[in-house]
Structure 1
Amino acid sequence: MHSPVVILASSRKNSGICLAGKRLDRAARSWVRPVSTLAGRSWSRRGLQYVAGGVPRPGDCLGLPLTDACPEGYQRENVGVRFQPWERHGSIEAVDLGQFLDWPELIWPLGWHSIHGWNDRVPVDIALQHCDHSLLFIHPQVLRFRVSVERSDLVVRAEFVYRQQRHVLRVTDDDAAARWLGRLADGHDGRSDALLCLSLSRPFNGFCYKLVAGVIESGAQG
């Protein structure tokens, strides 16, 4: 049996891909992060080519052969998937995805910043004590994409305001990052009205990082 899911995040995770979305069946609007059996629980591109015909993108509607929940700490949305072909059921247009938005008071605990970010990470012990979810789908009040040089790499970050709180988070949606690298190189000012799917990462060097795992745009962006 396959469960219908709309994909809201398709994010690079080390050498793999992390997917997440919301269910469209009787458990409508509940989050799922379909995880693999690989280290880090991400999917290889080769594996996704086999089960899904390629890497799913935000807005794609899939039928997933979900199995049991397999939560890990605050990543309670993790669900196992049988390794068999997934069903494709078209897609939902970006302008219609607003029905799936979340409206949190805070984007996880605030006050911890990396060198290039702002409110972009949470100490592991704080996350384990105070976070009971790891996925959010939001519409920022003000949003601008920008590029920074980090360890000799060009990194796209989303700088935005949500409920009067500033955030600067790394974009791990590779397609969106590539689009914005090109736009910014061509002189775009970075402003956007996009919807963002955010993910709280697994622990890394004592912190859990807030990432932009999906960028959904409608209309002209320049």
Structure 2
Amino acid sequence: MRFLLVEDTAELARSVQDLLRLNGHAVDWAATLADAGDCLAAASYDLILLDIALPDGDGRRFLQDLRRAGQDMPVIMMTARSAVADRVDALDGGADDYLTKPFDLAELEARARAVLRRRGGAAQTVRGFADLTFDPLTATLTVAGEARELRNRELRLFEILLGAPERIFSKDQLCDRLFSFAETVTDNAIEVYVGRLRRKLEGSRARIETVRGLGYRLTGA
């Protein structure tokens, strides 16, 4: 998954980035609303983590502008303001969740997973496809009763493909979802992760198919 973190406190931003990257997510950091706007113009995000009090404006106004512009990606507000009125304003303004500072980083990631599940319409954590089952919380893929652990980017890549079976994803689309602007990505990076994931799927009817000239798709046919 690719996250946009809009937060002006550098120490907190680094901590959040380190946690999310450790779990295989790509994270772009914007310290101002202007920088956040530039990021949104250049990339697509699965989730925005948005502070309220920023040097160049109010995150709630920024969120309202996003919603009016038709941007519907999930947003979690992060703020030191704990009053009920502040939470109501944020949620009514289009936020999917609200987290009061200081917060535990594990809670932030758990809330992010919950928001993404709700937005994806997933009522349950464990998902099935063809003859395999997948539990994102334990990063476990089960093929014919055999558990196979997915590592970081393998996990994130599989989540993307599993979220839209039979859909073709180009290399550029996968790079956009898996890597941040700060990361150096080689031309064959996607091929490497696809190859690793294919090995984890061996023995299953589900497979990652290469569509020549277009990209990759998860198919169970």
TM class, shorter-length: under 0.3
Using the size of structure 1 for normalisation, the TM-score is: 0.26
Which has the greater radius of gyration?
2
Judging by fraction of residues, say which structure has more strand: 1
More helix by share: 2
